Amino acid sequence: MKTIVVTGVPGTGKTTIAKKLAKKLNYYYVDVNKLIVKHKFSEGYDKKRKTRIVDVGKLNRFSVNYIKQLKTQKNKPKGIIIDSHLSHYLPRKYVDACIVAKCDIKELNRRLKRKKFHKAKVQENLQAEIFDVCYNEAIERKHKVIVIDTTKGFNINKVAKQLGG
């Protein structure tokens, strides 16, 4: 069973990539944001940044156990796609590929404003994209990284082929 994580700054298209790829490859899709709420991996709320504070350690322990559980099931899925801007924090030994969604800054700014992100959050995410935070952190963790620029869309067949599907 393959495990593919899809990461990137909010608004770069990671959820679109993850859902389309899961459908194309017939893999199990995991929305980490739902796990964070369901299993209370949040340590509180940052009012200034208007975001949950996530305990990445707890999230990773849960995710690793979840992956191990899926791999031992009788009717295990062909693969799993994990969708989150935090997914690249998973240990390399549990991840077969890490897709980093990227987007042109002007387009990302437009997308974040359309999603009604407040000004400070838009700036924070634009800076994270400019400095390639998700990409650099994925490389630091020695993931096999595939970068997908979603500025003008992307070809899911090409992505699937890169992953051997």
Phi, psi of 28 (to 5 degrees): -80, 130
- Tens place of pLDDT per residue across the chain (165 aa): 999 999 999 999 999 999 999 999 999 999 998 998 898 888 888 887 778 899 999 999 999 999 999 889 888 899 999 999 999 999 999 999 999 999 999 999 999 999 999 899 999 999 999 999 999 999 999 999 999 999 999 999 999 999 986
Burial environment of residue 124 by CB neighbours within 10 A (0 to 12, 13 to 18, 19 or more): middle
